[in-house]
Chain A
């Protein structure tokens, strides 16, 4: 039996506390209850002050006509404006707009960090469940000794669900400065409102809060059902034996995979793509899926190697390690394939409503955007191509860690441009929130692992897995 060591407990606790501090810091920094009217008023007052202080001629000669006004706002509200925003402001209204945007971004920052981390760990736990179901449906023999690890990783799903529902509900009811989803803004679907957006209003049949919330409920209900069922069938199989439990697991897995095929795409549309409400991409669901799958495989790999080093999972041999390494390699390439397919079509067609997505990323997110591509493609294809490197756990873990950073950045670049725009940071709030999630993940998964036998005793293909050799 695996027992959670004191060190593991301590590390997860420290990480969780870091996460709580980071989120708390983000919320306190973002809090400041200015309404839009108050801000407009304040900026107008500043503009009048400056007008009386400085003569018109010097201001007009200045490259940025509102430079001093921006300066004053930066000091008053503790904001920072980009050079582009300062240069592009044509009148006081533009300055007001920029200020409101910047303040929204500030209160939005902890929410976006939370969503990025939640999507990352949703990927880890959900795709682990997907991988498990795949093993049953494809009647795979080699992976039997890994199945309990897949189950344990899957049990993190409810914790992700709680966070996702908190984000959805606070966004839907406009609480605590959560402006994650632009289409939830007040009056955006109302032709009489100043906020009206005809394109978004045209999507009302799908993008309305009620349906959005119900969809989330349905996804999680379906995933929980499969997770619970597969775990209980496997544990019962340990006691009773026979092939009946395996057949039942196969049936559950087949149903789950059909459900997953639809829900995995829809979760990407709902929780990620709807942030950039005007924009859409037909392969976005698969793109998110591939990113999540690589993440999940790396985490599974790390867990398996950790358990083996702890003296557990003694049936796992180098061939199992090799095969997991192959999966990581293959799906890194698959991710790049989808990344590029999405990019090239949009680049080639050059339709304004589509290219805005990439322009925002190339202009304001160049470093994380390009870094993600390099880490997720160039590093695994060069380092993991040879057979020898995949059979050395240390090598794959080092490369896997790099790939995890790359996929964090990938989710970051999916979510941040549409929520905080040019006012993005990759600082304590973002990284701390992610570390907090990591701590919780380690705690939950190791606890689950210590509660069950790590090798399914009566699995019909256990022998095949034991003698697996390539």
Chain B
């Protein structure tokens, strides 16, 4: 049996936010919402799990800090000790204050860049990726809700219309 999806198209972010809440309250699962801009509270209304991007950011930051310190240790202590400002250069700890700015910069550098890359990869936004939105108007002024149907198309269509959709489409997916 082939699956069917129903697209409800809305023209107002407040309306679609309320629609998401109402439809989910009826026990139906909403697969995706496409919007030209972030809608405040939508992820909570959709029941999405909180992002784990912050955790990756922390890990990337720690990596950057460690690599920065490793680099400074290798360059300034191990490989080619240099006397700058009459400072002792035999141990890492005695030179630590001088390395903190570099450690800080690399922490920020790693956290920021790797976090952006992670975000792009997780959202499947890499070179050669294709558009996933079923309707190009969601990049302009329309909001689209995608609900998967399992033989209950009529009920879903009625519900979406009831919540204020300006247009409802039905499509088969293989």
Contact = CB atoms under 8 A, between A and B. Distances in A.
A463 to B, nearest CB: 16
Interface string A310-342: 000000000000000000000000000000100
A398 interface: no
A350 B97 contact: no
Contacts of A348: 85, 87, 97-98
B97 A343 contact: yes
A159 B152 CA distance: 72
Interface in B63-113: 85-87, 97-98, 100-101
A349 interface: yes
B63 to A, nearest CB: 16
Nearest to B101: A344
A469 B85 contact: no
Most interface-central of A343, A348, A386 (chain B CB within 10 A): A348
A469 B97 contact: no
Contacts of A347: 97
B40 interface: yes
Nearest to A470: B40
B100 A344 contact: yes
Given A469-B40, A469-B41, A349 B85 contact: yes
A165 to B, nearest CB: 39
Nearest to A344: B97
Interface residues of B, number: 11
B100 to A, nearest CB: 7
B98 A344 contact: yes
A216 B58 CA distance: 45
B101 to A, nearest CB: 7
Q: Chain A at the B interface: mostly helix, strand, loop or mixed?
A: helix
A350 B85 contact: yes
Nearest to B55: A386
Interface string A340-382: 1001100111100000000000000000000000000000000
Given A350-B86, A469-B41, A340 B100 contact: yes
Nearest to B84: A348
Interface string B7-19: 0000000000000
A370 to B, nearest CB: 14
Contacts of A387: 54
A347 B85 CA distance: 10
Nearest to B86: A350
Nearest to B40: A469
Contacts of B41: 469
Interface in B15-60: 40-41, 54, 58
A354 to B, nearest CB: 13
Contacts of B98: 344, 348
15 contacts: A340-B97, A340-B100, A343-B97, A344-B97, A344-B98, A344-B101, A347-B97, A348-B97, A348-B98, A349-B85, A350-B85, A385-B58, A386-B54, A469-B40, A469-B41
Interface of A: 340, 343-344, 347-350, 385-387, 469
Interface of B: 40-41, 54, 58, 85-87, 97-98, 100-101
Given A350-B86, A469-B41, 9 more contacts: A340-B97, A344-B98, A344-B101, A348-B87, A348-B98, A350-B85, A350-B87, A386-B54, A469-B40
Name the 5 nearest CB pairs between A and B, nearest first: A344-B97, A347-B97, A348-B85, A350-B85, A350-B86
